[in-house]
Amino acid sequence: MASDLVDPFGRVIKDLRVSVTDRCNFRCTYCMPAEGMQWLPRSEVMTFEEIERLARLFVERYGVEGIRLTGGEPTVRAHLSVLVAKLARLGVDLALTTNGATFRLLAHELREAGLRRVNISLDTLDREKFERMTRRDELVRVLDGIDAAIEAGFDPVKINAVVERGVNDDEIVDLARFGRDRGVEVRFIEFMPLDATGHWMSDAVVSQDEIVAAIHEVFPIELLPVRGAAPADRWRYLDGRGTVGVIPTVTKPFCGDCDRVRLTAEGQLRTCLFATDEFDLLRAMRSGESDDQLAERIERAVGTKWAGHNINQVTFVRPKRSMSQIGG
């Protein structure tokens, strides 16, 4: 019988994000530097068995309901479908976040293994801009990856678009139109200070209000009630052509409803995207700790979960890790 994993502010943890690798085939400017990323040696990355063990603990002992696989780029991890099949057997709501570049090759296999939901990142529809933003000329393959996800029957397929002022904010309406035309929900994400290169400035953040106003002017929308613990506020198009979301981490933090913890590829438990502390579950597992001992560590970690991040305050300290090392 599962018992709730509750933090000091009464929030019940229901969602686990697992980074399956720190490696990536892209170098998005808002996420990591062009060069100089030091990848973890293979021996320091959790094996599928280790991920499964921790996932099982979260699900069976604490009633965690959702697991999202992320990275780095999760699809660069060999035999990802083997992990998906293991986790699907836990009976959780299993999802994946990917840059989509190789999704055509994997969609069917992952669907068969039990993956149901996928988010694909797409920040621009312009090929040159795509290359500038991701440092890879892969727009065509990503668009094909989105088609492959729809064809393979993933439901829902969502698009994640980080909006950066002066870079792609002129494409908000075009991206919204793309989502309407393909029947997928676009979720715009406010640019967060996790770019590792330090080029984030608050001026570069395009706020949820600005994003919504730009869409509403062309495609009228109305707010859907109840966000719950999901990070995105959602709107429906008044003409019935689907929904659109915005994740307002910077301008309207939703920390009060946060039900999430994260595991990095090297098995460090993080209780917030912006946390500066980590709890080493991998070393604990490898030193032979029992499930009860691991559970104690997990509870201790969750006991340190902050009320919320303080991006907008002078006391804000950027985590040493980039978004690619935390897992988005």
Residue 27's binding partner out of ligand SAM, ligand SF4, none, with CB under 5 to 8 Å set by partner kind:
ligand SF4
> Rounded to the nearest 10 degrees, what angle do helices 103-113 and 139-151 cross at?
30
Task: Identify which of 107, 64, 29, 90 has the alpha carbon closest to the alpha carbon of residue 261.
Answer: 64
Nearer residue to ligand SF4 within complex by CB, 144 or 291: 144
Q: How many CB atoms lie within 10 A of CB 287?
A: 9
Residue 179's binding partner out of ligand SAM, ligand SF4, none, with CB under 5 to 8 Å set by partner kind:
none
Cα separations in angstroms, 170 against 183, 185, 193, 205, 207: 22, 19, 21, 13, 14
Q: How many CB atoms lie within 10 A of CB 238?
A: 11
Stretch touching ligand SAM by CB under 6 A, among 40-48, 93-101, 125-133, 294-302: 93-101
Q: For ligand SAM, what does the binding mask look like between residues 145 and 174, x meaning CB under 6 A? A: ---------------x-x------------
**Considering only residues 209-268, where is the footprint of ligand SAM by CB under 6 A?**
none
Measure the CA–CA gap between 188 and 174, rounded to whole angstroms: 12
Nearer residue to ligand SF4 within complex by CB, 56 or 165: 165
Q: What angle do CA 87, 93, 97 make, to 5 degrees?
A: 80
Q: For ligand SF4, what does the binding mask look like between residues 12 and 31, x meaning CB under 6 A? A: ------------x-xxx--x
Compute how many residues bind ligand SF4; rule: CB under 6 A: 14
Measure the CA–CA gap between 108 and 111, rounded to whole angstroms: 5
Residue 58's binding partner out of ligand SF4, ligand SAM, none, with CB under 5 to 8 Å set by partner kind:
none
Is residue 99 at the binding interface for ligand SAM, with CB under 6 A as the rule?
yes
Q: Which residue of 171, 195, 233, 278 would you call a contact of ligand SAM, by CB under 6 A?
A: 195
Is residue 264 at the binding interface for ligand SF4, with CB under 6 A as the rule?
no
Task: Identify which of 94, 108, 116 has the alpha carbon closest to the alpha carbon of residue 148.
Answer: 108
Element (H, E) at 134: helix 127-134
- Binding residues (CB under 6 A) for ligand SAM: these are 24, 30-31, 70-71, 73, 97-99, 121, 160, 162, 189, 191-192, 194-195, 323-324, 328
